[in-house]
């Protein structure tokens, strides 16, 4: 049985969503998004920095959400939610799969730090503004890629799990402007997927 170590409002939501889309059985070890759980000796034995998600699969333990997604697809996906290496869609799939952590999530992380994690007296409005502008700029190519498409590479794939989750969180942070009409519609479609709703309801 796959076991997901999960905390709300984190990248762990991607893993729950993926497992729901693949209809794979799993169990959840729910942790509070708080140092008392994440920085405990018990959880640091799973992840040296006390982060989530962490996946246990028998004797295998793996962390980093993108690595977990790839692991699940290769070991348990049965060829689903990923184009073949030889397909015309594969390079674009790889691009958007990794665009998430390379371009979108760094400013998201800064925004969360500057608006939620830091005490008000320690927040930096300049850093916050820069991150908000960078995030919106980083989302513009995604909006363009979605012209005439329901999903990033046409059919729903794990690239949507990675980047779609990040787009949803970006919208929640108020960084998807109205003029990114394709992206806003995409976020709405993502939010209506039953598997995504299961993941978000755990937040």
The long-range contacts involving 87-90, CB below 8 angstroms and separated by at least 24 positions, are 89/153, 89/154
pLDDT band at 2 (very low <50, low <70, confident <90, very high): very high
Which pair of structure tokens corresponds to residue 101? Answer: 């952590």
pLDDT confidence band for 203 (50 / 70 / 90): confident
CA–CA distances in Å: residue 93 to residues 11, 158, 160, 185, 193: 19, 8, 9, 20, 20
| Contact in structure between 37 and 31 (CB atoms under 8 Å) | yes
Domain coordinates in residue numbering, the chain: 2-81, 90-193
pTM for the full predicted model: 0.96
**In what side-by-side order are the strands of the sheet with 2-6?**
26-30, 2-6, 54-57, 60-63
The reported pLDDT for the residue numbered 184 is 98
**Average pLDDT in the chain:** 97
CATH superfamily entry for domain 2-81? Glutaredoxin (3.40.30.10)
Calculate what percentage of the chain has a pLDDT beyond 70.
100
Class in CATH terms, 90-193 = mainly alpha
Report the range of poorest mean pLDDT among 12-21, 36-45, 194-203. Answer: 194-203
The mean pLDDT value for 79-98 works out to 97
Output the CA angle 120-32-139, nearest 5 degrees. Answer: 60
pLDDT of residue 58: 97
Residue 59 is classified by DSSP as T
């Amino acid at each position: 049985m796959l076991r997901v170590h999960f905390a709300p409002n984190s990248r762990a939501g991607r893993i729950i969503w993926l497992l729901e889309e693949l209809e794979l059985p799993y169990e959840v070890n729910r942790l509070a998004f708080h140092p008392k759980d994440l920085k405990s000796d018990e959880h640091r034995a799973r992840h040296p920095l006390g982060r989530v998600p962490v996946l246990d699969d028998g004797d295998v333990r793996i962390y980093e959400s993108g690595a977990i997604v790839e692991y699940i697809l290769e070991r348990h996906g049965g060829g689903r939610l990923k184009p073949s290496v030889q397909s015309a869609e594969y390079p674009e799939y790889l691009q958007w799969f990794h665009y998430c952590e390379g371009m979108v999530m760094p400013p998201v992380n800064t925004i969360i730090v500057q608006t939620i994690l830091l005490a008000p007296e320690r927040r930096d409005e300049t850093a916050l503004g820069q991150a908000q502008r960078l995030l919106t700029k980083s989302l513009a190519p995604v909006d363009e890629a979605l012209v005439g498409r329901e999903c990033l590479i046409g059919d729903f794939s794990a690239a949507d799990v990675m980047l779609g989750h990040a787009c949803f969180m970006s919208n929640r942070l108020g960084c998807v402007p109205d003029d990114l009409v394709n992206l806003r519609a995409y976020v709405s479609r993502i939010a209506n997927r039953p598997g995504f709703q299961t993941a978000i309801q755990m937040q």
